[in-house]
Amino acid sequence: MSQAQDGRGEPDWLSFARQVPSPNCDERPADESVRLVVIHAISLPPDEFGGPEILQLFTNCLDPAAHPYFREIQGLRVSAHFLIRRDGELIQFVACSRRAWHAGVSNWMGRDDCNNFSIGIELEGCDRLPFETAQYLTLNHLLAELHRRYLIEAVVGHRDIAPGRKTDPGPYFDWHRVHDASG
């Protein structure tokens, strides 16, 4: 796989992440650059962890017959740039220079379609359980690298850009454990 380069000549695929390319992405608008990081939470099936289903969803391979919930999301085409598993494993699905399809209908500081200028990070989790220490350690390492590469203005939750529609990363996500250099 050839590696696209960002504006500083560095690969858009991070060497410390396992790479599982998703087809659910496209080009960012020419006048957009990465300015925002959006934190999400996902579990498939809901409230279950550790299986291959998130990777299958982001690569359009999820079997709708494998679980009743999967029939509800059949045909959904979504992705994120990164997933942090419960054990801290980091998986990258989309090059940082490209638009991952993670935010949906969204607005940040008066700007619609946050996919255009954000990087999406999914944490394997839900609204009913705390996240793991290993996830915060990986998240902070990833955020430090993203701040080094891009002019990140903010790190926000999905709920912050889609209020009333989304709740993630949820009430058990501890923002005090996030080292956000954007302030």
Q: Is residue 138 part of a domain?
A: yes
Task: Say yes or no to pLDDT of 10 above 60.
Answer: no
Q: Is residue 144 part of a domain?
A: yes
Q: Is residue 11 part of a domain?
A: no
Q: Is residue 104 part of a domain?
A: yes
DSSP 8-state class, residue 158: H
Task: Say yes or no to pLDDT of 67 above 90.
Answer: yes
Lowest mean pLDDT among 6-15, 44-53, 160-169: 6-15
Beta bridge partners of 11: 5
Mean pLDDT of 56-78: 97
Whole-prediction pTM: 0.93
Q: Is residue 143 part of a domain?
A: yes
What pLDDT digit, counting tens, does each position of 26-42 carry?
Answer: 999 999 999 999 999 99
Q: Which residue range forms the structural domain that includes residue 122? A: 18-177
**Residue with the larger pLDDT of the pair 1 and 115:** 115
Element (H, E) at 120: strand 118-124
pLDDT of the residue at 183? 57
The domain tally of the chain equals 1
Share of the chain above pLDDT 90, in %: 91
Spatial distance between the Cα atoms of 52 and 14, rounded to a whole number of angstroms = 21
Lowest mean pLDDT among 7-16, 68-77, 164-173: 7-16
CB 98 within 8 A of CB 28: yes
Q: Is residue 137 part of a domain?
A: yes
- Residue 2: what are its φ and ψ, rounded to 5°? -75, 150
Burial zone of 65 (CB within 10 Å; 0-12 exposed, 13-18 middle, 19+ buried) = exposed
pLDDT band of residue 180 (cuts 50, 70, 90) is confident
Spatial distance between the Cα atoms of 169 and 177, rounded to a whole number of angstroms = 13
What pLDDT digit, counting tens, does each position of 92-146 carry?
Answer: 999 999 999 999 999 999 999 999 999 999 999 999 999 999 999 999 999 999 9
- What is the CB neighbour count within 10 angstroms for residue 50? 11
pLDDT of the residue at 3? 40
Task: Give me the CATH number covering residue 113.
Answer: 3.40.80.10
Q: Tell me the DSSP string of 42-82.
A: E-SSTT--SSSHHHHHHTT---TTSSHHHHHTTT-----SE
pLDDT of the residue at 2? 35
Beta bridge partners of 118: 36
Q: Is residue 7 part of a domain?
A: no
Residues across the chain: 183
Q: Is residue 79 part of a domain?
A: yes
pLDDT of the residue at 9? 42
Q: Which residues are catalytic?
A: 122
